[in-house]
Amino acid sequence: MLASQHQIRQLRLVIPGGLITYFIGTADLGQAREPLCGEYCSNANSKSLCRTAALSSLFLGVTTIVLFFYVMLTPWRKGEEPNFRLWRKSGLLSTVIPLLTFSIVGGWLLLVVTLGHWSGLGYPKAIVAASGLYMLTFGILGLIPAPKVPRK
């Protein structure tokens, strides 16, 4: 089976994102566990803030994935295709798109701060690591086929 143009575009996110995530070790449990366990935190207040930032970043990342699935499955559930160009006029999309945008930007930013400040990566490497992880995630999400709405 030949790859479609859409799949090739998504692989342009998956491959570099996967390589960045692999080589920096962002998905490694040890790297992710550092901020949660507080190995780089010197006092109790810093450890608490570190855990809060790490868990908030994780929560916003999961929220992003859930909202993507929600937007993707809504046409199948409601039986009509949403008009993404006029998302502000749609009852559903006018609420979900701002939440999705906030969860993407907030989750990425918190991940950068958590990795940059508390994991020992430093901020430049944390920006690359967070971007690679988000590229990989969005690329994989884009490879999932959306259900088609039957024409009436």
**151 pLDDT exceeds 70?**
no
- Express each pLDDT in 29-64 by its tens digit: 455 555 555 565 666 667 788 888 888 999 999 999
As a whole number of Å, the end-to-end CA separation of the chain is 30
- Express each pLDDT in 81-116 by its tens digit: 777 788 788 777 888 899 999 999 999 999 999 888
Length of the chain: 152
Q: What Cα–Cα distance (Å) separates residue 59 from each residue in 52, 65, 78?
A: 10, 10, 27
46 φψ region: left (φ > 0), alpha (ψ -120 to 50), beta (else):
alpha
